A = this chain, B = another copy of it.
Amino acid sequence: MDNTGSAIKAVIFDAYGTLFDTQSVIGVLEATFPGRGGYLTQIWRLKQLEYSWLRSLSDDYQDFRVVTREALRYSLGTVGLEAGASQLERLVAAYDRLALFSDAFPTLQALSGRRLGVFSNGKHDMLAELLNNAGISGLFVDVISVDAVRAFKPSPLVYRLACDTLQLPPDCVLLVSSNGFDIYGASRFGLKTARVERLTTTELRKQFGPEKLIGPAEIFRTLRTQLEDLGAVPDVTVNSLLELPEAIASM
């Protein structure tokens, strides 16, 4: 599939937070729990990732739908809310219908001459729903779920899985991700990495002006949008997926 002469033989995209906006669950949360949507959106995502790390570190893997459900239940509990089993499933299903970032589709189209994949913490049925709902399933050759090795990002097991699935050495694979821990893990394993920095440090700092309130959304952005200080440096940083085709062309 690759007729570009590039050293990059496959481009794999992180799903949650990179192609898809995890903030887009706010609508259904706010409609279900008026006044709590913003708060729940942030705590849910922060706890979902935390549980993925804790479970993976504890050799106590449960798939990402279970982790997503546990994190939501925890989040609701902090504000005295409970959801019955069916309501909980309905809310968890919001993660199957996340909004595609507006820069994703045109970028994927522009890269259609390359071998493209999705590489995600989501289990296969979650990813199938997500891609189908966004109408982009047909754009990917590979849909790789960490579920196959029962570990979550940034465990080295999952980056090995990606390379094994692609049958490519790590340095021929480009991971595109806006998640700092994913850039860290992939870089450690030897993949090429493109970091999507949708919120620059300069923009982030503007939220800390003296008149600004620092609430759940600001804390989320603080914790989740910046390059981690773990020694890994991405091969390229873009502020939008739209910059990706040009960046890849020079790799």
Give the interface of A toward B (CB within 8 A): 35, 39, 42-43, 46-47, 50-51, 53-60, 70-71, 73-74, 77-80, 152, 154-156, 181, 184-185, 188, 201, 204-205, 208, 210, 213-216, 219, 222-223, 226, 228-230
Contact = CB atoms under 8 A, between A and B. Distances in A.
A215 B208 CA distance: 12
Nearest to A213: B213
- Copies of this chain, how many? 2
Contact of A205 (B35, B71, B80, B154): B80
A78 B214 contact: no
15 contacts: A39-B208, A50-B223, A51-B229, A53-B57, A54-B184, A57-B57, A57-B154, A58-B185, A71-B229, A77-B201, A77-B226, A78-B226, A80-B201, A80-B208, A215-B215
Given A46-B223, A204-B78, A55 B230 contact: yes
Contacts of A188: 58, 60
A205 B53 contact: no
A57 B56 contact: yes
Contacts of A70: 229-230
Contacts of A35: 210
Nearest to A225: B78
Contacts of A226: 74, 77-78
B54 A208 contact: no
